[in-house]
Structure 1
Amino acid sequence: MPVLTAVQQDRAAGVLMAMACGDALGAPHEFGPPLPRSTELSMCGGGPFDWAPGEWTDDTQMAAVLVDAAERAHAGGRRLLDEMDAVARGWAEWSTTAADVGAQTAAVLAAAAAAGPVTAASARASAADLHARTSRTGGNGSLMRTAPVALAYLHDRSARAEAARAISELTHADGDAGDACVLWCAAIAHAVITGSADASVGLDDLPPRSRDLWRDRLAVAESARCADFTQNGWVVEALQSAWCAISTTPVPSAEPSAHLRAALETAVRGGRDTDTVAAIAGALLGAKWGASAIPGEWAAVVHGWPGTDVATLGARGAGLAA
């Protein structure tokens, strides 16, 4: 496996750090309307779940379970996919005390737990059953947590795509959710390696029938405003809104890395599922600009379950990519 340069290591650390910062920045505004550009944004906390200042939400909490599993796999010479039972069990245990759990994720994990000890198979079966009964399992809850998969499989394209879809399917059986995770993980890995943010690099990793559809969806995002995506709890619009924030926010000529902050603020100002859209955007922005681009006042306060700070989370993420 190639050894990362110092710049690539900074970008790898930036993935989970910027994801968590976007999550915490958007948390106070979740479920609210779009915000005017004049609105000042800060790590003020509050919101519908009364988060502490700088506290991340379920988006980053679920990703932390993936980080734990990926570290165990790495230490034992295994793959993240070999830890699927532990991932499903970890999410089920987390969900019993979490302040906020997405409705679809909560339903799947509760049904799996009702059938006995939670395993990957029981979670996947519960997700498939929910999809069969409702045909409405395309929420953004698997995309929001997917960034660690990109780091764990940074240089292995086919394995990364397989893992992204399989881990999505633990709670989200809808094909759009799996496609979105494959695309976003490909974009994150590409940005860590090259420093370029391109949401289309993973199109060839999708089933052939899906490629043109997602190419068109990305094009829509590049010519829209974040506020245009009024259903961003849906995984498609969540990804579109995140990519819209990244691709339409100008890169400052004097300080290009300030784009990270500006684009995250754009994502939050789009309204509605603000923490999740900003967390999704943050993972790719961190992969492009690196941990060094994260504002110091953010890094000083961002923290969350399971009792860690954002710098430690970033270092752990970088360790997965090393």
Structure 2
Amino acid sequence: MRLTAVQNDRAAGVLVATAAGDALGAGYEFTYPRPDVPIEMIGGGLGPFAPGEWTDDTSMALAIAEISATGTPIEHGDGLDAIAAQFVRWYDTRPKDIGNQTRTVLQGCSPTAEAMQRKARGLTGRTGGNGSLMRTAPVGIAHLDDSAACLAAAREISALTHADPRAIEACQLWSYAIRHAVLHGTFDGVRLALGELPAEPATYWRGLLDEAETAETAAVFHNNGWVVHALQTAWWAIAHADASGPEHLQQALELAVRAGGDTDTTAAIAGGLLGARWGASAVPARWQQMLHGWPGYRASDLVDLALATASGGRDESYSGA
């Protein structure tokens, strides 16, 4: 698909703003910053992370993007296997932070999609964590020309570690919304995605989106390690930031961090959609200059990955990791 310059900026914004939200929230994880506390890329957190360093949220998204940037279909076959192998490759670097559910699946797992999904399906207890939603942003730009493939890829890639139906539905909803925002420059895709889901989950998520839009405070979504509250927190921040124009991106990311809890993840989730709407150009330059992380990338590398993904692997600036 041939994109306009504005659409290319929005595609690049998906990865850059995901990383920016992630790095911004890293230093505040499991805290609740007061209104008078400036929100900056201070580093620290669970890593501890350097200022501007992204966490597992972005690293796992980039593991996906490195495959999608080659033009390989990622919703099945060799592409899905390659993503599974990338997850294991990342896990073997002993990352500074990793979600418990993701660790359980990846530890000692064969690097194939079938083995990984089978292990994820076999988990017991609470399996609806936010660990697949946090990494879903690349799926939205990998299928700009095919909404059905976008939904299929979101399902299969979530299921590598998070087979819970609500985790899968959240990834489908958010990936679809990111795709729509890149193409059309609106947040309407969040609601339009409901029309692509079966009746029960569509009704379920419609009520949750309504709740996020009308809640006075994100405190009602306090358990945002759960995929449902994580999505609601991200949507709450987007809906309640009142700045107009590109400044909306920075304000919404700061709100996602101020919501507290799993701040790097909720801000990374929000960042993927905000970047798709406003573009990489809306991410403050001081943030972009600080961004860095696994596997040795900086903001310019994320732009290359995103543009190669959006062009189906035809972007000459990216030749593979």
TM-score bin (small chain): over 0.9
1:99: which partner in 2? 96
1:175: which partner in 2? 165
The answer as to whether partners of 2:140 and 2:178 remain within 8 angstroms in 1 is yes
The residue type paired with residue 232 of structure 1 is: N
1:128: which partner in 2? 121
Q: Among 207, 210, 215, which residue is 2:206 paired with?
A: 215
Q: What TM-score, normalized by structure 1, do the two folds share?
A: 0.93
Return the alpha-carbon distance in structure 1 between the equivalents of residues 193 and 114 of structure 2: 27
Q: Among 244, 250, 264, which residue is 2:242 paired with?
A: 250
Q: Among 288, 292, 301, which residue is 1:312 paired with?
A: 301
1:297: which partner in 2? 286
1:55: which partner in 2? 53
Residue by residue over 1:169-223, the C-alpha shift from the partner in whole angstroms, topping out at 9 and shown as x without a partner, is: 0100100000000000111011111110132121122122211110000000001
Residue by residue over 1:211-254, the C-alpha shift from the partner in whole angstroms, topping out at 9 and shown as x without a partner, is: 111000000000122232110000000000000000111023xx
Return the alpha-carbon distance in structure 2 between the equivalents of residues 223 and 158 of structure 1: 30
**Is 1:6 equivalent to 2:2 in the alignment?**
no
Deviation for aligned residue 1:38:
1.6
Q: Which contiguous aligned blocks of 4+ residues in structure 1 show a shift greater than 6 angstroms? A: none
The answer as to whether partners of 2:120 and 2:162 remain within 8 angstroms in 1 is yes
Return the alpha-carbon distance in structure 2 between the equivalents of residues 105 and 43 of structure 1: 25
The answer as to whether partners of 2:41 and 2:51 remain within 8 angstroms in 1 is yes
* Structure 2 alignment gaps of length 5 or more: 312-321
Q: What TM-score, normalized by structure 2, do the two folds share?
A: 0.93
1:138: which partner in 2? 128
Deviation for aligned residue 1:19:
0.4
1:29: which partner in 2? 28
The answer as to whether partners of 2:151 and 2:172 remain within 8 angstroms in 1 is yes
1:79: which partner in 2? 73
Return the alpha-carbon distance in structure 1 between the equivalents of residues 199 and 156 of structure 2: 18
The answer as to whether partners of 1:24 and 1:57 remain within 8 angstroms in 2 is yes
The residue type paired with residue 73 of structure 2 is: R
Q: Among 176, 188, 191, which residue is 2:181 paired with?
A: 191
Deviation for aligned residue 1:110:
1.4
What RMSD over aligned residues (CA atoms) do the two structures have, in Å? 1.1
Return the alpha-carbon distance in structure 1 between the equivalents of residues 303 and 171 of structure 2: 20
Q: Among 133, 137, 146, which residue is 1:156 paired with?
A: 146
- The 5-angstrom pairing of residues 215-294 of structure 1 reads 215-224=206-215, 225-252=217-244, 256-294=245-283
The answer as to whether partners of 2:234 and 2:266 remain within 8 angstroms in 1 is yes
Return the alpha-carbon distance in structure 2 between the equivalents of residues 16 and 4 of structure 1: 17
Return the alpha-carbon distance in structure 1 between the equivalents of residues 308 and 243 of structure 2: 29
Residue by residue over 1:235-292, the C-alpha shift from the partner in whole angstroms, topping out at 9 and shown as x without a partner, is: 000000000000111023xxx2111000000000000100000000000000111111
Q: How many pairs align?
A: 306
Return the alpha-carbon distance in structure 2 between the equivalents of residues 99 and 31 of structure 1: 16
The answer as to whether partners of 2:69 and 2:306 remain within 8 angstroms in 1 is no
Question: Among the aligned pairs, what percent are the same residue?
Answer: 49
